[in-house]
Structure 1
Amino acid sequence: MAQGLSSSSISTESSPRPVAVIDIGATSIRMAIAEIHQDDVRTLDTLVQSVDLGREAFDDRRLSRKSIEKTASVLKQYQRVLQEYGITSPADVRVVATSAVREVSNRLAFIDRIFVATGLEVEALEEAEVNRITYMGVMPHLMNQKKLADSKSVVVEVGGGSTELLVIRGGNVLHSQSYRLGSLRLLKTLETGRLTPLRRRSILESHIKRTLVQIAEQVNPDQKIQLVAIGGDIRFAAHRLLENWDGVSLAKLPTKDLANLTDQVLKLDEDEIVRQFGASFIEAETLVPALLAYTMLARHFELQHLYVCETNLRDGLLHDMAVGGSWTTEFRNQSVRSAVSLGRKFDFDEMHARNVAELSRKLYDQLQDDHQLDSRYEVILYLAALLHEIGMLINVRSNHKHALYVIRNSDLFGLSKIELLQVGLVARYYRRASPQSSHPEYGLLPREERVAVSKLASLLRLAIALADTRSGRIREIECEREGKRLVINVPGVEDVSLEQIAMRQNAGLFRDVFGMPVLLRSGK
């Protein structure tokens, strides 16, 4: 996520801030320690400890007490290292877990036990968050290569439990998805006794091909495809096949060389891989299925070479900490593009939707002192404004309820399930009933999130009233307080009588939430 970082966006402090991120994965727990400077993030140290969470998670859907305690023990060791670096504040440490923890039935018990043992809060990253961090991490590399910047790039990471896919063209995300194809899941298919190398390869290829078919449907090779591979296994291969790779810039790896290496490791067991290639046992375990998957991807798209990127999840998390966890402008733009694409699928009135969204944004900005929400909620409001009529194609009468359903079950780029729910609820309350505790989705939210949804929905209703004529004639507004009421002035528009009628109908929720009636006034 290095893109867009500057001295002003990272930190205003003159002295470096030491921070750390810990990634609890399927086969290892990795920690990166870094300093956040005014103009960059500098990694100081990295640590890795092997664990076997993935096998239990994907076989039994549950983590054993032994594995949980092993994880706690590793994290305690890491805490001692953190103390040596002077990192003691919880705000300076972010601990995340991926699919091995996210998918187990006792995930909450795992998270609670780690907190009791270490005081560390473990965040089980959703697929959308992983995609967001991956995108922001890989984009600087893509944009620095003209060939990649101008073409369609398929960014792929084959992990222990899943394969993450991003399709990017010209800096825009065309598609993002997670597939249940991981190296540990693939290894599980081989647990049928002793197999010949040929039979072993055949079984792995048959499972990989199923996912390849799905990926091919999403990629749509309407132009030249470039494959960008990330992940520890492909980096291992690149370091052994490319003598002069600096490990930082994008590496151009010939497909035939990768295929030859894959052929070699397919004939070896883990001990032999360790001896012949100098791999760790962690690397040796997942190397075979991962490299085969990358090779088959490159061959499927008939590529002479693929690119290998050094970026990883921890790099992205460190840069996320550097910008304070806020959503960057580039991420916001990608989410908006994703919402517009979804709206077009449902034949929405795009001009009207964009006008309502822009008016919502202006209301949000000018009423900051009243709603006191952070910048993340501006994105939530903007997306809800774009999609508030998306349910019209399904049923006009209850379109607001259908909007909630469609948005909740969509794949808006980079948004988690809770964020999709927030967008859906704001859109759901653009008309008719105000938010009620008896409404299932709304009533289950924590109070802070309920209040935020109510505030955003009230702003959306004001924006819809301003755009009531659907002509787009109101584009600029000026909000001011007059006594105990909010006055919205519309400069350059003499007759706002129709909008005033709509405002009287729509301003009730705003009055209930903020305690202010609303007056709409023309700017003569």
Structure 2
Amino acid sequence: MAADTPKQDAGVAPPTRGEGAHELDLAAVDLGSNSFHMLVARIGSDGLMQVIDRLREPVRLAGGLDSDRRLSMEARERALRCLARFGERIQHLPSRNVRVVGTNTLREMHQGFAFIETAEATLGHNIEVISGAEEARLVYEGVTRGLEADQRRRLVVDIGGGSTELVIGDAQGPRLLESVSLGCVVHTQRFFEDGSITRKRFQAARLAARVELEYLERQYREAGWDIAIGSSGTVRGIWRVLMAYGWADDEITREGLEQLIDVVIATGRISAIKFEGLREDRRPVFPGGVAALAGVFDSLGIERMRTSDRALREGLIYDICERNGGDAIRSESVLVTARRYSVDEAHARDVADTARHALSQIAKTWELQHPQCERLLEWAALLHEVGLSVSHASYHKHGEYILRNMDIQGFSQTEQKLVSVLVRLHRGKLSSTVLDGVPGAWAQPIKRLAILLRLAYLLNRSRKPGVVPAFALRATRNGLHLELPGRWLENNPLTCADLEREATQLKAAGYRLSFR
């Protein structure tokens, strides 16, 4: 980009020139509520993952939030020191081969964007905050990829520091996805904050975990599963302790879990926990994790659970491969969303085709050459009429609200925000206030993409297939000149009037539109 382009901000790599050549190494960074993890791996031609490097640090981000969801300076510095070390390891990798995601604590942190901006500068790569549903999808992908390709249904449970993800799926993918506010850090803080462990406290923690799961209990039990798999540090830590006591083999059983609960309660204090097989950094949050897992067993009637050393970061590695190979998941999610809201798919595709044709002609002049620009423009075109399912009046505003707040599989929260802003701006005033909350580096590109979407919308307003002729579009820094063939404008007076009104709208926003 030009030298005066704002620095990269949260969520999506902003348009840049000269992306590095494709590298074999891929890196996934999981900024969890308890620990930060980094995985560097390579995917072979056979689709198998070869781990090159792993790093993990117990940052305890969730433990650094106060009652107002503000991050303490101590936790902030712990996190940044960790990211500086991670950044040194992956500084040579191009952005397309790296994904860094924040989960529950970054979702809940007050003014998290300020921390993320500093964290990105320290790490050297962008950070995406993902929804609980997207976290669950990626966990399922990481855990189940490489399992036997049969039709057995799997229940995957991932207990993190601030949230628990529960997924039921099969070899074709997830069928049920949920993320609940239940994690080893927050549960320990809530019930064992002073370090004391009593039977009464533990039972209260176990019951509270079940209450968090109550709304999904019936649906999950009715869906059913053939095998249950637990992933991530909490479940694996419990399994290692059970193995050390001889109360488990390759599975956690209800009987073994109940025996462990009695031992945990008998210790009396967190500081007295000295279990063989338990890492020291896991000890401070162990009681909350055991209570959370017990609540999951109770709620879903689980008797046996396998464990997996794979989780979110492995899912991220496979997701990088998918995105670099065509991005089928997000493209399919856009179509699913469009059909869910009864979008006129043929018309939406016409708008998308027109918008892409316009972009191809002025991308260099307007510095919109990054592939993500075309993807965002296409997604917004395909979804620009989702708000019609609510009302025709102000449907662009309804569409923005729907797309900003729903869970769209494969999308980060920032990506959804960018698409929703484009949908909001495809008609009406090109208001700069709509860009509030958009990462700084994306403010100008999104405004320019919105202008192209507006033109595509106007040229296809008659909704007649094939009505838009081949046109030429030239760009200056703050202007566009549109040339249409022959007497097309004379034969389409309504579109001509629309373009005249659009020129007035754009002038108010600092852009000039001319046409003939």
Shorter-chain TM-score above 0.5: yes
**8 A contact 2:459–2:468 mirrored in 1:** no
**For residues 380 and 211 of structure 1, do their structure 2 counterparts lie closer, same or farther at Cα, with a shift above 3 Å needed?**
farther
Equivalent residue, structure 2, for 1:346: none
Deviation of 1:160 after TM superposition, in Å, equals 0.6
Q: Match for 1:134: what amino acid?
A: V
User: In 2, Cα distance between the equivalents of 1:466 and 1:29?
Assistant: 50
Q: Match for 2:187: what amino acid?
A: L
Q: Match for 1:353: what amino acid?
A: D
The aligned runs of 1:181-192 (5 Å cut-off) are 181-191=182-192
User: In 2, Cα distance between the equivalents of 1:362 and 1:422?
Assistant: 19
The aligned runs of 1:460-499 (5 Å cut-off) are 460-467=457-464, 474=465, 480-481=470-471, 485=483
Equivalent residue, structure 1, for 2:53: 45
**8 A contact 1:17–1:35 mirrored in 2:** yes
Q: Match for 2:162: what amino acid?
A: G
The alignment partner of 1:466 has SS state of coil
Gaps of 5+ in 1: 1-10, 244-250, 344-349, 468-473, 489-495, 519-524
**8 A contact 2:355–2:455 mirrored in 1:** no
**8 A contact 2:31–2:100 mirrored in 1:** yes
Deviation of 1:174 after TM superposition, in Å, equals 5.3
2:75 to 67, 72, 80: 67
What is the number of equivalent residue pairs in this alignment? 464
User: In 2, Cα distance between the equivalents of 1:202 and 1:108?
Assistant: 37
Deviations 1:45-78 (A, max 9, x none): 2233333432122556333333333344444555
User: In 2, Cα distance between the equivalents of 1:410 and 1:112?
Assistant: 25
Equivalent residue, structure 1, for 2:149: 144
Equivalent residue, structure 2, for 1:435: 430
User: In 2, Cα distance between the equivalents of 1:456 and 1:100?
Assistant: 35
The aligned runs of 1:196-207 (5 Å cut-off) are 197-207=198-208
Equivalent residue, structure 1, for 2:32: 25
1:412 paired to 2:420:
no
Q: Match for 2:152: what amino acid?
A: K
**8 A contact 1:58–1:161 mirrored in 2:** no
The aligned runs of 1:339-418 (5 Å cut-off) are 339-341=338-340, 343=341, 350=342, 353-363=344-354, 369-370=360-361, 372=363, 376=372, 380-381=376-377, 384-385=380-381, 387-392=383-388, 394-418=390-414
1:459 paired to 2:463:
no
The aligned runs of 1:26-425 (5 Å cut-off) are 26-35=33-42, 41-57=49-65, 61-78=69-86, 82=89, 88=92, 91=95, 96-105=101-110, 107=112, 110-111=115-116, 118=122, 120-121=124-125, 123=127, 125-127=129-131, 130-131=135-136, 133-138=138-143, 140-141=145-146, 144-148=149-153, 154-166=155-167, 168=169, 171=172, 176-191=177-192, 197-216=198-217, 219=219, 221-225=221-225, 227-238=228-239, 254-268=253-267, 269-270=269-270, 273-275=273-275, 277-322=276-321, 328-341=327-340, 343=341, 350=342, 353-363=344-354, 369-370=360-361, 372=363, 376=372, 380-381=376-377, 384-385=380-381, 387-392=383-388, 394-425=390-421
**8 A contact 1:130–1:313 mirrored in 2:** yes
**For residues 462 and 163 of structure 1, do their structure 2 counterparts lie closer, same or farther at Cα, with a shift above 3 Å needed?**
farther
Deviation of 1:208 after TM superposition, in Å, equals 0.9
The alignment partner of 2:344 has SS state of helix
**8 A contact 2:29–2:99 mirrored in 1:** yes
Deviations 1:104-125 (A, max 9, x none): 3464554465567x56456262
The alignment partner of 1:278 has SS state of coil
Gaps of 5+ in 2: 1-19, 245-249, 474-481
User: In 2, Cα distance between the equivalents of 1:506 and 1:256?
Assistant: 71
Deviation of 1:252 after TM superposition, in Å, equals 6.3
Percent identity between matched residues is 21
Deviations 1:401-455 (A, max 9, x none): 3332333333333433443333333433455x25243656599961111112232
TM-score (structure 1 length as normaliser) = 0.70
User: In 2, Cα distance between the equivalents of 1:79 and 1:442?
Assistant: 26
Equivalent residue, structure 1, for 2:3: none
TM-score (structure 2 length as normaliser) = 0.71
1:449 paired to 2:450:
no
Deviation of 1:178 after TM superposition, in Å, equals 3.4
**8 A contact 2:152–2:171 mirrored in 1:** no
User: In 2, Cα distance between the equivalents of 1:514 and 1:39?
Assistant: 53
Deviation of 1:147 after TM superposition, in Å, equals 0.9
**8 A contact 1:161–1:182 mirrored in 2:** yes
Larger deviation, residues 208-217 vs 502-511: 502-511
The alignment partner of 1:311 has SS state of coil
